[in-house]
Amino acid sequence: MKIRTSLVLACFLLSVVPLGVIVVYSYFSSRHALQRAYHAEAVRMTAQLDRRLSTIRDELQQRLAEVSALPDPSEGNVLMTMGDAASLVNSIEINPVVRDVAPKPPTPGTPAAAPEHRMVIRIPRIRVPRFTMSQGQRQNLQSISQLAGKLRAPGLTDEQRQELQQQIGAVQAEFNKSMQESQKEFAKSIAESVKQRQEQRAEVIQQQREAAREAADNQRDQAMEEADRRREKAQDEADARADASSNASADAQSSSSDESGQEVNVGNLQAHVSTKRVVHRILSSPEDATERDEIPFAIDRDGNVYTRNDSDLQTLQRVGIPQRVTKGQRLNDVPNWVVVAQQEPESGLQVGVARPVGEDLEELRNTSAKNFGYGVALIFVALIGIVPVANHITGDIALVTRGAERIAHGDLTTRLPVRSNNEVGQLATAFNRMAEDLSLQQQTIVEQERAAIEYERKSVELEEARRFQLSMLPKEVPQLDAYDIAVFTHTAAEVGGDYYDFHVEDGGMALTIGDATGHGARAGTMVAVIKALFAGYSDDATPSQFLRDAGEKIRRMDLGRMAMALSLARFHGRSVTLASAGMPPVYVHRHDRDAVEEIAIGATPLGTIGDGYRDTRIDLASGDTMLFLSDGFPELMNAAGQQLGYPAAMEAFAAAAKASDANAVIASLQNVARNWHGEQPPNDDVTFVVVRARESARSFSA
């Protein structure tokens, strides 16, 4: 997958997926919040319905208590006292008060007591204007109630009873007079209420007639029939209300047989309360006029369901809410509904509120889907802007890719243009630096390969020269009766400049040791020249004569700045003749004194200007040891760059000369060199030639 496609796809996924998660989370969180809010509102409304029921019950009990205290419970007084609560009661039954003693005959001048009998008052189904007793009337009722209680008390004398009856008669006369005046005013209120209802009825009929006339202009026949039906229906309702006003007892009697209710006992009263009217008042409160979505309901002990209208009842039954409430099932899992119900313990009436939330949730879902669509549209708009940016980024990356391909094909001169300081620009800078480094590295590798080839060629040549030089060295040292001889050489390069050789004749032995300037092939060439010259050496010439003759020949060969330091010693019996051309001193260890003598002969190397070579003669005793060495041993360096030095070389030989034979002396000197320099190759050629005089021999043998 291309980077541009990956960038666009990643941007799309990183935008759409979080947007989808946010929208879904917002929907469910809003849904839960909405359901919680509706549930809290339903709980509040249910509590409000319960408070209404308690208020109605308290008001009804208060009114019945006032009716119970009436001295003259006639229908008018009862209706006046009940007020608004009268519409909730079908009938009131007044039971006689049972007294514990027989009544006494009334005394002259006192009113006779009313006979005690059971009284049933039917409450008409009209809305009676509210009547409220005055403070004086309430005090009169309270006085009559207290005096009647005292009159019923046992153990009263005739005088006390007569006095209480007189007091009751006086208070009752005052109360009756006050109630008669109030009754006249209350009757006027009832008449005005009936008149107002009749006027409303006439107004409704007039409106219906006007509506019928207006509808007749468009669809006369159909409108007239509809108007007739409405008028007949309104007439029936008006007639029913008129009949209820004129014949309250008969209507109440039929109502009591049709409606369910509850018995309320207060004192000597037993009231039959209409459950339907109570519930209708609770559910039809003016406070709910604006709350159209909620459906308040009530269920009595018999399972009867009450709502504000038949449509609400059908809706609840279709959803199955009444069945759930009756069976005591859970109400919080009704699909798309919030239902709360509460039971009133005293009456057993369950009141509740059901609120549909399906439409709100559907609207919420539509809003969430719409927001999601808007978000996706904005994302696509953003993608349109991302594509050019992705093309710009991938274009720079493609440029880097093409540059890398050119370098991979060997074009190390490729350079990329640096167009910005961002990561791509830094990548281009790093790419150019890498290409330059690769170009330099390639040049270095080519040079190294050339040098390696040259080195290999030279190594081959040097190896051949080394083998040639080693072939010029003696394959073995002479085995003489008079002397014990041992040699050692360690070259610092492939072809060293140190040289040693022997020439044995009947008259004695000639020993030479030399050191050519430099190393390598040129040093090997000088060694080859000296080897050829020494091969022609004869006993007729002294060592100094040989050095002068060899130096002259080398100068005539015109070998440039090449030179050869050389020492030549001629052994004849116990006598040794030495000549040196720039070589280090020769050390002689005297066995009898255990001391080392240094024989230094100053002269210039062969091939240089100067020929002042001279001979030096020494005598050896039995056990004396001579050491011929090149300058590589005293000039040997350690790890710190310090040279061993000639005094240390002389001390090392003094210690090594005590060894049993010449080879042991060589081994001791090797240990000194190894301990000083280590195992790495030496910085210069190191050569030792050790000659020890034997004790008994007097002659030489090859």
Domain that holds residue 260: 69-101+115-272
The verdict on residue 205 lying in a domain is yes
* Spatial distance between the Cα atoms of 625 and 275, rounded to a whole number of angstroms: 150
Residue in 80, 72, 63 with CA at minimum distance from that of residue 187:
80
Q: For 441-484, how does the pLDDT look when each residue is reduced to its tens digit (9 = 90+)?
A: 778 888 888 888 887 877 777 667 667 767 778 888 999 889 99
**What token pair was written down for 650?**
């002389």
**CATH number, domain containing residue 615:** 3.60.40.10
Last residue of a domain, one of 242, 272, 302: 272
State the pLDDT confidence band at 159, using cuts at 50, 70 and 90.
confident
The predicted pLDDT at position 700 comes to 46
The predicted pLDDT at position 625 comes to 96
Residue in 636, 696, 642, 702 with CA at minimum distance from that of residue 672:
636
The DSSP H or E segment spanning 587 is strand 586-590
The verdict on residue 299 lying in a domain is no
CA-based end-to-end distance of the chain:
90
* Spatial distance between the Cα atoms of 396 and 383, rounded to a whole number of angstroms: 20
Per the CB < 8 A criterion, the answer to whether 77 and 86 are in contact is no
Which SS3 state, helix, strand or coil, does residue 541 take? coil
User: What pTM does this model have?
Assistant: 0.41
The phi and psi torsions of 493 (rounded to 5 degrees) equal: -140, -175
The verdict on residue 143 lying in a domain is yes
Query: What angle is formed at CA 290 by the lines to CA 285 and CA 295, rounded to 5 degrees?
Result: 65
The verdict on residue 685 lying in a domain is yes
Which SS3 state, helix, strand or coil, does residue 116 take? coil
The verdict on residue 600 lying in a domain is yes
Residue 25 pLDDT greater than 80, yes or no: no
Number of domains in the chain: 2
The predicted pLDDT at position 234 comes to 63
The verdict on residue 531 lying in a domain is yes
Residue in 1, 4, 2, 6 with CA at minimum distance from that of residue 387:
4
State the pLDDT confidence band at 115, using cuts at 50, 70 and 90.
very low
Q: 77 versus 512: which is more confidently predicted? A: 512
The verdict on residue 564 lying in a domain is yes
Last residue of a domain, one of 256, 272, 288: 272
The verdict on residue 438 lying in a domain is no
**What token pair was written down for 229?**
């039906």
How many residues does the structure list for the chain? 702
**What token pair was written down for 692?**
């020890």
- Label each residue of 162-189 as H, E or C: HHHHHHHHHHHHHHHHHHHHHHHHHHHH
Least confident of 52-61, 79-88, 471-480, 647-656: 79-88
Give CB contacts under 8 A, 24+ apart, made by 205-212: 205/231, 205/234, 205/235, 205/238, 208/234
Last residue of a domain, one of 233, 253, 272: 272
The predicted pLDDT at position 690 comes to 97
Cα 184 to its chain centre, rounded Å, is 85
